[in-house]
Amino acid sequence: MRKKIKNMLIIIIGVSLLASLLIFNLSLYKKPESLESVYDISLSVDYNNGTVKTRLNFTLDNGKTTALDALDEWCEIDYDDFGWGIIVREIDKVRGFWIYKINGLSPSVGASVYSLKDGDLIEWQHV
């Protein structure tokens, strides 16, 4: 009986700590400000099957200037919105795990909140 109570207490404390951490992180989250327009943006999508789709020197405007907005401009996408972030599940009917880079580097934030700058190269790759 004591072992059962001890295990139950450990589970309750663990769940409470995890919930507190999640609530704390969500309270710190603030979407960065994005520009109204960005120019000279390029997009590359590598489907990892020998096909690479490229769009060069285009403009994003109306405040839709994130890495996800650039992808959505030129590709058919499907994604899951978890509230804390978006996970791209499918690009142009190619389903799987997708990663993105900006100017060759992996950002520390999701594509839906990464604010592009003039001249950025966005690369998406199916892995």
Q: What is the pLDDT of residues 21-75, one digit of tens each?
A: 777 666 555 555 667 899 999 999 999 999 999 999 999 999 899 999 999 999 9
What pLDDT is attached to residue 73?
95
Give this prediction's pTM: 0.73
Q: Does the pLDDT at position 3 exceed 70?
A: yes
Strand segments, DSSP code E, in the chain are 38-46, 52-60, 77-81, 86-91, 94-95, 98-102, 121-126
